Amino acid sequence: MQELTSEEIVVGALPKGITLANKAFGNKTWNVLGHTYLSKVESPTSFAWLSLDPTGTGVPPHIHPRQDEHIFVMEGRYTLYLDGEWTTAGPGDTVRMPMNLPHAYYIRDESPGKALFWVSPAGELAKLFDQLHDLTDPAEVVRRSALHGVDFLPEGSVPGA
């Protein structure tokens, strides 16, 4: 068996290390329409953020044409729209949303939500969050999102949204 040398080891673009629980990767924190997002991992292959979701907030139905998205629920109960069906996920549940799957989430219970979200590949989502930070016009959020690989469905196209 041939021994590997350091020149033969391929290291990917994901930076090694630990992002502490109360810190954001690269000190990046975003306020997006009432949600607080703390970056946890950013690389070309993977992007993860901690989402603090107050009661009464949500993200309307949308599609990521080139990304798989996941949610690991830590606190609260998330009401989810997944490809035509409504369901809920609570602490310890992992939600899987393959690319091109219409999905949405809302915090409809009295308790706020806290979840780790991640997408793969990373695409331009972190750049989009940079542009959405403190933006208050939902129509502009939809417009900018479309330029960064997130396509919102027309309002009223999903019953119960």
pLDDT tens-digit readout, 21-80: 989 999 999 999 999 999 999 998 899 999 999 999 999 999 999 999 999 999 999 999
Is 69 contained in some domain? yes
Pairing type for strands 113-120 and 94-97 reads unpaired
> For residues 152 and 145, is the Cβ–Cβ distance under 8 A?
yes
The number of domains in the chain is 1
Q: What is the CATH number of the domain that holds 107?
A: 2.60.120.10
Give the predicted TM-score (pTM) of the model.
0.88
Is 3 contained in some domain? no
Burial of 71 (0-12, 13-18, 19+ CB in 10 A): buried
Is 156 contained in some domain? no
Is 60 contained in some domain? yes
Is 116 contained in some domain? yes
Q: How far apart, in whole angstroms, are the C-alpha atoms of residue 21 and residue 108?
A: 26
Is 157 contained in some domain? no
Residue range(s) defining the domain that contains residue 106: 26-149
pLDDT digits (tens, 9 = 90+) for 81-130: 998 999 999 999 999 999 999 999 999 999 999 999 999 999 999 999 99
